[in-house]
Structure formats: structure tokens, C-alpha cells
Structure 1
Amino acid sequence: MSSLTFHWFLPTNGGDGRHVVGGGHGVSAGPSGRPADVPYLGQVARAAEQMGFEGALTPTGAWCEDAWLTTAMLSQVSDRLKFLVAFRPGLVSPFVAAQMAGTFQNLTGQRLLLNVVTGGESAEQRMYGDFLDKDARYERCDEFLTIVRALWRGEEVDLDGKHLQVEAARLNQIPSPAPEIYFGGSSPAAGRVAAKHADVYLTWGEPPAAVAEKIAWIRELAAEEGREIRFGIRMHVINRDTSAEAWAEADRLLANIDPETIKQVQEGLKRSESVGQQRMLALNGGSKDDLVIHPNVWAGVGLVRGGAGTALVGSHEEVADRIQEYADLGISEFVLSAYPHLEGAYWFGEGVLPILAERGVWKHPAPTAVETRIPFQYAGRAAQ
């Protein structure tokens, strides 16, 4: 097994707190306890890079702060952390997007990764002035990434597409290296675009059997394009010294979720056009009952949050075991988060990552930082 890569999350979607902060896919984020401002997000970013996370995902949409501006600011209060910037193709021209990404990459010292989000909610897209339907958005995304990739290679681009047109387009400042493209989606149209353009295909956390099916599907499509793709998974995590402590925290989060809020959010999420979102809803069933969908995999977050709705729950050792189970399927990158994100970065970074390092499946991106780590994960082993 090759070395695994871990990314964290920047909670620009309404802020952070000691409870599940929702939002996404057309539903409100709800109240938080900590604002999504530069001082706090800077703390999260610095904690993540100290603990050994490679990058941090920053979401996109009407429900959160702008990802480009936020991460540009945070790049100045952090040292090494890369930013997995989610953005929607078609809301700006491909040339401008290629230029923005190149500027970010060049001026931050190659700290940009891109999460391309085609957009699963037509109502939200129309807020941005985008009136294409879902299938047309994927057609446009294909054209968009074709142009951007060529510009990053230093080519002069002429394209008269169905949705996008450029003439004699050429970048003067080429990003070196070009940012990697992360791409998710469960629909047939998403699979085709991912196979053609993605460096990393991202899936939300489902039971391993369902994840294995997705990996096989995308691998086959990518092979038809003559390409190989890496795979990543987006989940939350609740790890503690003992399994009992971790599940007690999951129970606490669940107890603080109001049944009326669940009903309202679920009704909103059912209107989502996203196939992946519908798969998330099927895992929790809109009920607080039967939320353990696989050992140490809990679907409670998805009751009130759009998008990623599952969490790894257990002792440090148990969570490490589940990570290796997903890694055995072909997952090499993990995009994780917790409530709150600041403390969660330390729980995972001090509890789980050292175990994976001892097993030889993970290395700290900045090895000198490891010398100051507190290996309290041993407490979790002794108290199984």
C-alpha cells in the first residue's frame, strides 16, 4: 500500500461549533458557535498543517464564503498547507479561471488543488445567473476543463463549443506544476467528465462495498480514455481514546439535533438533483434510528447536512482500521472534518495519524514536525 494522503476541511459554511453545522445542497447552514473569520479559520489551517494534513477543502456555493478569497487570505497565515478550492465551472470564463488558478499556484508556492463542482442544484445555479440544466452543465464542464488544461500546458487554444468559445487564448504565466483536479459525482454524466479530466475522483463516504463499485466504474471509464485516476473519500471523523468515548460523542451530537430540523432539512435535500445526495439520504433514512451502516461508519451527520453525511466513529485504532479497509479498495486520499474542526484536527492528528505512520501507510509531509507530537494514541490502545 502506498502512502496515504489526508486533507482537512475549512468550515466556511456558516462557521464551526460543538454541534453539527449543516448547510449545502440548497439548505441553510443553521447556527454555529464560531464565526468563519480569518482568525479562527487560520487556527484551523495551522492546526491541520502541524498535524500532517496535506491540504484543506474549502466548499463553494451560496451557503458559504467565497473559497478563492478565503483561501488566498489564509495562505498568508499558514506555511505549508495546500488549499483544495471548490469552484463551479462556467460561472467565470475558462480563461479567467485558468489565470486565477495559475496566479494562486505561483504566488502561494504551489499550494493550490482544485475541486471542480459542476453544481447539483438548478435553483442555486440560477442565483448565479446560470440557467443550464444538469446535463448541459456537465457538457459545459467538459468544454471548460478542456480549455483550462490546454492553457495550463502553455498551448494556444481555439474552441468553438456548444457552450463555450475562446479564440487564440494563451496564458503568459503558466502554473508550475498545474493544479491537480479533484472531481466527484455519481451520475453517468459525472463519471464521463471525471474519467476524462480528473486526477482524483472523490466520493462521499458509503459502505465499502458501494465505494468499491464506484471505484470499479470510474476505473473502467478512465481506462477507455487511456488514463489512470487516484481515488479519495470525503467523510467526517469522531475518534477518541476509547470506542465508548467516541460513540458517546456521536450520541451527544445526535441528541442536539432537533427532530423538526431533521424534517425540514430532509425535505429540502429530497429536492436535490444530485445523485450522490440521494445516496446519502438513503443511508440515514431521515431517522435517528439505525445509523450505523458499517462497523465504525455512522450516517448521523447527513440528517441535517447536505453533501458528506457519514462519519468514522471509534477509538483511534478502530478508525485507523477502517481507513485501511477503504485504502485496500483503492482509496488513497481522505478528506476529513469534525465538530469542532480545530479540536478535531488535533484528535485525529495526534490519535490516528501516528498509528498509520507506525503501520507504514502514512508519512508526515513535514517530518521535523513529528518530533513535537504527543503520542496519546497509546491510551486508546490500552483501553479497548
Structure 2
Amino acid sequence: MSVKFIGYIGFNNTSEVHSGVRQRALDIDYVNAAAKAQEAGGFDRVLIPFGSNSPESQLVAAHAAAITTRLGFLVAHRPGFTQPTLAARQLATLDQLSGGRVAVHIITGGADDEMARDGDVGVSKAERYARTDEYLDILRQEWTAAEPFDHKGRWYEARGAHSLIKPQNLPVFFGGSSPEAIEVAGRHADVYALWGETIEQVQDAVRQVRRSAQRFGRDPGFSLSLRPVIADTEEAAWKKADDIVEQVRANREAAGLPISGHRPANAGSLRLLETAQAGRRDTRLWTGVAALTGAQGNSTGLVGTPEQVAAGMLDYYDIGIDHFLIRGFEPLDDAVDYGRELIPLVRAKVAEREGRPIALAG
């Protein structure tokens, strides 16, 4: 089992630790620098996020692909706002233009207010997953059908649908922790995406998704999202993590945002928030920012020296994680550090494991 690294290109060089300076919604200089730095740093892909008020992910990916030659792109995409036949052609076109460097991360969406900003109202979470299931059926059919096809379902209807452009190789990433999400993941995910939780929790999620996928004759990969905090010594790394927590706390207080007590809408964040109440888990799993922010998105990390964090990542590799999505709180600088100090260590440790059985979660 090989290991892949996924970086991150937001739309400006900021994170939860920055406040007080209004940033451009789209900082092209940052996008250019982040794409080139992560290509040079050995990342396999970068995630381009999706938001109801942010720049459009496919267009940013197209720009970044044009200024790189090897770096792949994981384009976040939300079903429900674009007809699946059109989305299939858009993604296939981007894949062809990039030379087969595109994957899509399907974001079903869990927060009603965020969905409503794009006009998606009155659809329950369970219904959204049912819609995503049908959406992905059509997406894959557009990508593979040699002849026109008809589709009539609960959410979509198409007559004589057919795409002349097909992707070279366009993996589908998918996340979600509810029973409905696990069912959709089993049917469709080439890679199932998790947030950074304890070894026991991640192993349980891997088992659940594998059981679901086996019913459909599928064998997905698994991606774990982390915010590594590294320094020359373990003490310095934990001090750095503590400083991040205090800066996030101060920023949220200044902005009038809640400090803890926030209950997220989706099952994955709820579970992550419960994990975060303990502060530090599994020796170096750090949940300080997750506890402050209501576990909104990718907010946990591993803390230590590069060697210690690499060893911590290998613990997850040994239970089936073959992709690591890593991003820092100083987005550009941390990406450079990961490429120089962390990624080579993990790859070397994985190479040492080749030739012997891997203890995967069954």
C-alpha cells in the first residue's frame, strides 16, 4: 500500500490564527505560490475547497493546473446546484486539460443555513444523501457510457444524456459519518475521507466503510485530514500548539464568535467535538482548536518533532489510511515545512514497511 499526500490551496494565505486584516477573497499571488510550493514539496494533490460564499473551486483548480506540471487537484464539489450531466462534463474537461490530474471531493453538506445561501432549502440531511447517491450514479454514467442513456429518478431526469468527453482517471473522494453517508460511501467512494480522530475511532470508521463497500464489490482507499504542528523539539511543538489555541481564542472573542458550546449540525463534527473535550489523545493527537470552534472542519492535528509526527502518521497508515490531507495554520510556510521535513520522513517509513504484511482494519 503506497501513501499519498494531499495539501491545500485556500484562496488567501490565512487561517483561524489570522485576524484584523481584511484579505482579498482571491489572492492570486498566494494561489500561485501555494501551487508551486506544494508541487516542489512532493505533495500528490491539493484540495481546493468549496464554500457558499467563496471563489469557485473548479476555476481555481484550472488556473493552478495551468502553472504546474505534476501536482494533482482534489476539487471540492457540492451536488444539488449543478445538473449532474453538466458537472460530469465540466470535471471531465478539467481532467483532460490538466492531463489527468483531477479528483473530485463530493461535499453533500450538513448545515442548513450554509446550504440555503445557494438556494438549497427544505431538503433534509437524509434527502441530501439520497440526492447525492443519484447524482453520483448519473455522474459516473456520463463518464463511462458509450451510448446515450435515459435517467428518471426522484431528483433528476435526463433523456438521451451523453458526454463526448471522458476523464482519463477521475477518483471520487467522499466523506460523512451518518448511516446515510456510509451507505453512499460504500456505493461510490474511491477514497473515503475522515477527520483526525483517535486510532480507535478511525479504525472503527474504516471497518464500517469497508463493510459497506464490500456489499458493492468495492475496495476504497482512506484519507485522514490533519493539521500537523512540528518543531525541533517536542516541548517547542506543544508550546506552538498552545500558542495557536490562544490566538484562535482571542480572534474568536474579538469577532464575537462562540468559544466552545457550539453544536455542529453534522454527525462527523459532533463526534469530533466529543473527542476534542479530552484535549490531548493518543499521545500526540491535538484537539485544542476543534474544542474552541465546535469541530468545524479539519481542526485536529498531530504535535511533535517531524520524526514523532511521522511516526504518529504511520500508526494510522498501519490501520488502512493511505492518503494524508495535511495543512497548517500558516498555510504557505507550513506547506513548505511539510514538504521539506515531514513528507520525506513518512515516505521513508512507509518504504521500510514494504515487503511485510500491513495490519489493516478488517
- Structure 2 length-normalised TM: 0.90
Deviation at 1:215, TM superposition (A): 0.4
Partner deviation per Cα, 1:140-159 (whole Å, 9 max, x = no partner): 11110001101101343311
Question: Is the contact made by 1:301 and 1:311 (CA closer than 8 Å) also made in structure 2?
Answer: no
Alignment equivalent of 1:146, drawn from 121, 132, 137:
137
Partner deviation per Cα, 1:84-134 (whole Å, 9 max, x = no partner): 110101110001100100110011111111000001012221221112111
Q: Which runs of 5+ in 1 are unaligned?
A: 22-29, 363-384
Worse-superposed segment, 245-254 or 297-306: 297-306
Matching residue of 1:227: 218
Deviation at 1:357, TM superposition (A): 3.3
Q: Does 1:310 align with 2:300?
A: yes
Q: How does 1:359-374 map to 2 (within 5 A)?
A: 359-361=349-351
Inter-CA distance 265–62: structure 2 relative to 1 (3 Å threshold): farther
Matching residue of 1:10: 9
Alignment equivalent of 1:20, drawn from 4, 10, 17:
17
Q: Does 1:357 align with 2:323?
A: no
Alignment equivalent of 1:300, drawn from 275, 280, 288:
288
Question: Is the contact made by 1:292 and 1:298 (CA closer than 8 Å) also made in structure 2?
Answer: yes
Q: How far, CA to CA, are the matches of 1:33 and 1:340 in structure 2? A: 16
Deviation at 1:292, TM superposition (A): 1.0
Q: AA paired with 1:182?
A: F
Question: Is the contact made by 2:3 and 2:323 (CA closer than 8 Å) also made in structure 1?
Answer: yes
Matching residue of 1:26: none
Matching residue of 1:159: 151
Inter-CA distance 32–276: structure 2 relative to 1 (3 Å threshold): farther
Q: How far, CA to CA, are the matches of 2:340 and 2:100 in structure 1? A: 27
Q: How far, CA to CA, are the matches of 1:31 and 1:196 in structure 2? A: 45
Matching residue of 1:191: 182
Q: AA paired with 2:287?
A: A
Q: How far, CA to CA, are the matches of 2:262 and 2:36 in structure 1? A: 33
Deviation at 1:17, TM superposition (A): 3.6
SS at match of 1:202: strand
Deviation at 1:19, TM superposition (A): 5.5
Q: Which runs of 5+ in 2 are unaligned?
A: 353-362
- How large is the RMSD of aligned CA atoms in angstroms? 2.1
- The count of residues paired between Structure 1 and Structure 2 equals 345
Worse-superposed segment, 102-111 or 259-268: 259-268
Which stretches of structure 1, 4 residues or longer, exceed 6 Å deviation after superposition?
none
Deviation at 1:260, TM superposition (A): 8.1
Inter-CA distance 106–309: structure 2 relative to 1 (3 Å threshold): same
Question: Is the contact made by 2:3 and 2:350 (CA closer than 8 Å) also made in structure 1?
Answer: no
Deviation at 1:252, TM superposition (A): 1.5
Deviation at 1:241, TM superposition (A): 2.1
Alignment equivalent of 1:280, drawn from 272, 277, 293:
272
Q: How far, CA to CA, are the matches of 2:221 and 2:115 in structure 1? A: 29
Partner deviation per Cα, 1:30-81 (whole Å, 9 max, x = no partner): 6568654111121111111111100001111125322112111222222211
Partner deviation per Cα, 1:158-183 (whole Å, 9 max, x = no partner): 11101111111000111222x10000
Q: How far, CA to CA, are the matches of 1:133 and 1:254 in structure 2? A: 34
SS at match of 2:69: coil
Q: How far, CA to CA, are the matches of 1:129 and 1:186 in structure 2? A: 24
SS at match of 1:241: coil
- Structure 1 length-normalised TM: 0.85
Matching residue of 1:107: 97
SS at match of 2:5: strand
Matching residue of 2:257: 264
Question: Is the contact made by 2:313 and 2:346 (CA closer than 8 Å) also made in structure 1?
Answer: no
Q: How far, CA to CA, are the matches of 2:177 and 2:36 in structure 1? A: 33
Worse-superposed segment, 3-12 or 86-95: 3-12
Question: Is the contact made by 1:16 and 1:33 (CA closer than 8 Å) also made in structure 2?
Answer: no
Q: Does 1:69 align with 2:59?
A: yes
Question: Is the contact made by 2:228 and 2:303 (CA closer than 8 Å) also made in structure 1?
Answer: yes
